[in-house]
Amino acid sequence: MLCCKSILSIWLSLLVLYVIASSDASAKEVFLIRPHSAEQPLEESFRYQLFDLVLSVTKKQFGDYSIKGYQGKISQDRVMDLISRGIKFRIIATMTSEKRENILQPIRIPLLKGLIGHRIFIIKAGEQAIYSGIQSLAELKKLRAIQGHDWPDTEILIANGFTVVKSPDYLGIFDMLQLNRADYFPRGVGEPWTEVIQHADKKLQIEQTIMLQYDAPYYFFVRKNDMSLYNRIKTGLQIIMASGQFDRLFYNYPGHQSMINKANMAQRRLFRIKNPFLKVNPFKGGRYRYQPGEEKRFMHSAD
C-alpha cells in the first residue's frame, strides 16, 4: 500500500508532466527579424506582412509562431553571419548574390517580382536637368552613385563600370547625398517615394527620366541545413502564390500601389546592365516577374 509521501510524489510528477505537455502544446516559435528601416513600424513593412502570411498559412502544419523586430542597428552582413552560426536570427529577406548564397540557403522564389532590380534615382533637388540630358550609359557612369557598403547592388554597379561611393550606414546615405559626396542614390522602384518624404529636410527629389535595370531576385534566406524553416517558408510561399494571396498582398500594399502609379516606368529611358553574380536566374521565361497591368486583377480584390 502506498504511503501518503509516495502518493504526493506521484501527483507532483504527474503535475510536472502536465505542465510540460501544456507548455509544449502552446509554445510559439519566435522569429527575430531585422527591421528594414528604423523610421517605419515593423508591422507596416511588406517584408513583415509577407513573412507573417507565410507563417500563418503553415501554422497548422508547422506550429504557432510570433515575430519580433530586432531592437537597435545591425547590418545585413552581421545578421547573415549570425544566421549562419545559429545565433539569434534564423531568417533574413534580402537581395541575392553569389556570396550570400555561399553563406546561407536561399528559398528561390522572388519576393518583389524583380522590381527591386528596376532602379530609379534619388538626387539633389534642382539637378533634374543633369539627368534629363543623359542619353547613354557612358554619360551616366561619369556621375557617382552611392550604395550601402554590404549591398549586392554595390558590386553589380562596380562590375559594370560605375563609380560607387560606399556608405556603412543606410541613414548616412541621405546626409552624404546632401553634402555632395555622391550624385545619385539608385533605389528599387518601390523605395524612394517614402524615403524622400522621410528626409524632406535634405532637399532631395526623385529623378524623372531614367531607369537602370538588372536582374535582382529578392529572397528569404535561412541557415544552411535549417530544413524545417526552409520547408515551411517554401511551402507557405507556394500556397499563397497558388491561391492569389501573394499577389493581393503585393499589389494592395500601399507602397507598391504608389510605386506603380508614380514610377512611370514605360516613359523612362531604360539602361540595362548585367548581374554577373547571379547563380540561378528565376525570371527566365517571365516567371515571377512583374507584368505591366497585372496589378489591375488584384488591387482591392476580396480575399
> What mean pLDDT value characterizes the chain?
88
Task: Indicate the helix (H) or strand (E) that contains 175.
Answer: helix 170-178
Domain ranges of the chain: 23-114+217-270+277-297, 117-213
Q: What is the pLDDT of residues 201-234, one digit of tens each?
A: 999 999 999 999 999 999 999 999 999 999 999 9
- Which fold does the domain 23-114+217-270+277-297 belong to in CATH? D-Maltodextrin-Binding Protein; domain 2 (3.40.190)
Q: What is the pLDDT of residues 244-294, one digit of tens each?
A: 999 999 999 987 877 777 888 888 999 999 999 888 899 987 789 888 788
The CATH architecture of the domain made up of 117-213 is 3-Layer(aba) Sandwich (3.40)
> What per-residue confidence (pLDDT) applies to 179?
95
Inform me whether the pLDDT recorded for 41 exceeds 50: yes
Q: Do domains 23-114+217-270+277-297 and 117-213 have the same CATH topology?
A: yes
Cβ contact 188:60 at 8 Å: no
| Residues above pLDDT 70, as percent of the chain | 89
Q: What is the pLDDT of residues 129-149, one digit of tens each?
A: 999 999 999 999 999 999 999
